[in-house]
């Protein structure tokens, strides 16, 4: 897979609460960033549907899905530590035991830690847009990463994407056409309706305030 650096490593400023959460809750929720392939059954102690969110930020989606669907297991990948700190705080508040977090580069985790056909679903909501043309190569969802996601999905597993950058959505559609394992489930112009379970995060709110419509895409892993 062509290496893609889709983020700038920013430590950000951790609040005291986030730092405490990172220290105290790491053992309960975070996985060792170094290690071999993940075995969800060993991590969660059960066999259950296994879903991944890439770039989960402060984890609004993960917390809401994991709370609503306790019979499913979730992995969130996020490089921004203050976001991970907020997510751990929220998980502890809700008492979620079906979520684990990896503070690592998602492209590396996909390639090195996740087994082929191990995921029932993948969510990539509001990936960093890198709007300048010279930065487009830093966009996470290129053809190689989409191909890798497709290979990690089980048959009929779904990939959900949302972005408020129409040229990024067009590029994802174009790249996905080159991944034979992905079938676009969208209808008109191959776009999908907004999933009702997707919470409104500050990134979506910011887009709507700026007058940028949000585009949802859904793909299925073909046989």
Ligand X SMILES: C[S@@+](CC[C@H](N)C(=O)[O-])C[C@H]1O[C@@H](n2cnc3c(N)ncnc32)[C@H](O)[C@@H]1O
- At closest approach, how far in Å is the CB of 80 from ligand X? 4
State which residue, 130 or 183, has the beta carbon closest to ligand X: 130
128 catalytically annotated = yes
Q: Which residues pair with 160 in a beta bridge?
A: 123, 218
Beta strands in the chain (DSSP E): 50-54, 73-77, 99-102, 119-125, 153-163, 182-184, 215-221
State which residue, 55 or 157, has the beta carbon closest to ligand X: 55
State which residue, 79 or 183, has the beta carbon closest to ligand X: 79
Query: Using CB atoms, what's the residue nearest to ligand X?
Result: 55
State which residue, 46 or 194, has the beta carbon closest to ligand X: 194
Please pick, among 23, 32, 120, 128, the residue that the annotation labels catalytic.
Answer: 128
Contacts with ligand X, residue ranges (CB under 6 A):
6-7, 55-57, 77-80, 83, 105-107, 125-128, 140, 201, 203
Q: 80: closest CA among 95, 102, 96, 64?
A: 102
Q: 158: closest CA among 100, 101, 119, 113?
A: 119
How many whole angstroms separate alpha carbon 66 and alpha carbon 73?
Answer: 7
- At closest approach, how far in Å is the CB of 64 from ligand X? 12
The 8-class DSSP code of residue 119 comes to E
- At closest approach, how far in Å is the CB of 106 from ligand X? 3
State which residue, 8 or 223, has the beta carbon closest to ligand X: 8
- At closest approach, how far in Å is the CB of 25 from ligand X? 19
Sheet bearing 182-184, strands edge to edge: 99-102, 73-77, 50-54, 119-125, 153-163, 215-221, 182-184
The 8-class DSSP code of residue 30 comes to B
Structural Rg of the chain based on CA atoms: 17
- At closest approach, how far in Å is the CB of 133 from ligand X? 19
- The catalytic residues are 128
């Amino acid at each position: 897979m062509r290496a893609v650096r889709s983020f700038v490593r920013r430590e950000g400023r951790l609040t005291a609460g986030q730092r405490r959460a990172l220290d105290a809750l790491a053992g309960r929720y975070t996985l060792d960033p170094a290690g071999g392939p993940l075995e969800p059954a060993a991590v969660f102690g059960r066999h259950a549907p296994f879903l991944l969110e890439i770039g989960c930020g402060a984890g609004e989606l993960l917390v809401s899905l994991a709370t609503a669907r306790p019979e499913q297991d979730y992995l969130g990948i996020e490089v921004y530590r203050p976001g991970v700190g907020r997510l751990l705080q929220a998980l502890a508040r809700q008492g979620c035991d079906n979520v684990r977090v990896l503070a690592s580069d998602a492209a590396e985790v996909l390639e090195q830690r996740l087994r082929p056909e191990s995921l029932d679903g993948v969510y990539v909501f509001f990936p960093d847009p890198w709007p300048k043309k010279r930065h487009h190569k830093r966009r996470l969802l290129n053809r190689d990463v989409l191909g890798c996601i497709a290979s990690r999905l089980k048959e009929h597993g779904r990939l959900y994407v949302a972005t408020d950058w129409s040229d990024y959505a067009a590029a994802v559609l174009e790249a996905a056409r080159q991944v034979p394992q992905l079938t676009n489930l969208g209808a008109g112009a191959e776009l999908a309706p907004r999933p009702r379970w997707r919470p409104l995060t500050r990134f979506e709110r910011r887009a709507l305030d700026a007058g940028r419509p949000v585009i949802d895409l859904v793909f299925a892993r073909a046989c």
